[in-house]
Amino acid sequence: MAETHTPVLIVGAGPTGLTLAIDLGLRGIGCTLIEKKPEPEFLPKMERCNARSMEIYRRMGLADQLRRVGLPPHCPMDVFIVLSLVQEPLLRLPYPSVAQAKAEIAASEDMSQPLEPYQLISQYTLEPALKRVADSLPTVTVRYGHELVSFNQTPEKVTAVLRKENGATETITADYMAGCDGGGSLVRRELDIALNGESNLLRFQQALYRCDGLYDRIPIGKGRHYHVADDKATFFIVQDSTNHFTLHATVENPVDMGPLFEKAVAMPVKYEMLYVGPWRQNLLLADAYGKGRVFMAGDAAHLVIPTGGLGMNTGVGDAIDLSWK
């Protein structure tokens, strides 16, 4: 069994793990990032970096790069409550586009504005963009198709066993390890750290659609979120390409998501449903953020309701805090 060493081993290549790896790499600290998936997945998950995350990415020299692949700066960020996309909205909450927000920030002299505005960028866009940066850093080793099987630690080091795609195993030692491996975190379970709080508050299906031209055809106004006033908590989200959309609803059967999309759109359109899967709203916090030389960040340490971009963005904050320490 081969054995290698790295100063920091990071488990999980979502936005949290990638951000941690990049920031460590930029600080000259060697790290190895492992991810059991063979490559970044085209799944919707999060869709917005808030102002604080964009300030962090600005400090890392990445803000402009991420904006170039995200929602175009002229697109409005308004939020609507609707019966459908063709009926007069029940409520419209105006929010500035990135271009407008940048102008407001530039004109502000009273310290009331963030350094950067938010950015709508889908996770399936953000992860490959961050991976490209991580791959470019000589201090960072990125290894997809490598799954953490087990680990143990002593006061001096962490020893982890990895499984490759071909089934072969490898031992890697590290000075420290960070579990950024999501809500079902193996790192958290192996550390025997409990999650406490409220779970299963609501159960949703989430579907991702491709529907070219729909964005330009929405007659009630352009925005990012369209909350449908129904008994299924349905909400419709524009993704960064404006050709992809997600729909969330509290339905049990995934096949219901096609008719729900058609009902919300309420226009004859051609569309393809690329993905559908369940997710649950939770408010859970780990009893500790780590033990010894092993730490956790992101969903591994806390599961929150993502409204307001609180999910992924809290993970970015965790990553930068952990990197600095």
DSSP string, 7-56: EEEEE--SHHHHHHHHHHHHTT--EEEEESSSS-----S--EE-HHHHHH
Average pLDDT for 177-185: 96
Q: What is the pLDDT of residue 28?
A: 97
pLDDT at 311 over 90: no
DSSP string, 160-208: EEEEETTS-EEEEEEEEEEE---TT-HHHHHTT--EEEEEEEEEEEEEE
pLDDT at 299 over 80: yes
Neighbours of 217 (CB within 10 A): 12
Average pLDDT, the chain: 95
Q: Report which of 151, 143, 148, 144 is spatially closest to residue 190, judged by C-alpha positions.
A: 151
Q: What is the pLDDT of residue 302?
A: 95
pLDDT at 5 over 60: yes
pLDDT-derived band at 25 (thresholds 50, 70, 90) equals: very high
Q: What percent of the chain has pLDDT over 70?
A: 98
Give Cα separations from 212 to 68, 217, 234 (angstroms).
20, 10, 21
User: Over the stretch 182-239, which tens digit does the pLDDT of each residue have?
Assistant: 999 999 999 999 999 999 999 999 999 999 999 999 999 999 999 999 999 999 999 9
Q: What are phi and psi of 308, to 5 degrees?
A: 85, 10
pTM value is 0.95
Greatest distance between any 2 Cα atoms in the chain: 65
Average pLDDT for 43-68: 94
Q: Report which of 216, 210, 222, 285 is spatially closest to residue 82, judged by C-alpha positions.
A: 222
- Residues 325, 320: Cα–Cα separation, whole Å: 9
- Residues 307, 318: Cα–Cα separation, whole Å: 18
Q: Write the CB contacts of 322 (distance below 8 Å, at least 6 apart in sequence).
A: 20, 178, 295, 297
User: Over the stretch 76-90, which tens digit does the pLDDT of each residue have?
Assistant: 999 999 999 999 999
- Residues 288, 305: Cα–Cα separation, whole Å: 20
Q: What are phi and psi of 299, to 5 degrees?
A: -60, -20
pLDDT-derived band at 2 (thresholds 50, 70, 90) equals: low
User: Over the stretch 149-172, which tens digit does the pLDDT of each residue have?
Assistant: 999 999 999 999 999 999 999 999
- Residues 161, 158: Cα–Cα separation, whole Å: 10
Supply the DSSP symbol for 78. -
13, 33 in Cβ contact below 8 A? yes
Q: What is the pLDDT of residue 46?
A: 82
47, 71 in Cβ contact below 8 A? no
- Residues 93, 76: Cα–Cα separation, whole Å: 11
Least confident of 175-184, 262-271, 297-306, 308-317: 308-317
Q: What is the pLDDT of residue 45?
A: 83
Phi-psi region of 61 (alpha: psi -120 to 50; beta: other; left: phi over 0): left
pLDDT at 308 over 70: no
168 or 2: whose pLDDT is higher?
168
Q: What is the pLDDT of residue 70?
A: 97
pLDDT at 13 over 70: yes
Q: Write the CB contacts of 280 (distance below 8 Å, at least 6 apart in sequence).
A: 199, 200, 201, 202, 203, 204
Name the strand (E) or helix (H) holding 223.
none
175, 158 in Cβ contact below 8 A? yes
Q: What is the pLDDT of residue 85?
A: 97
Average pLDDT for 30-54: 93
Q: What is the pLDDT of residue 296?
A: 98
- Residues 107, 115: Cα–Cα separation, whole Å: 12
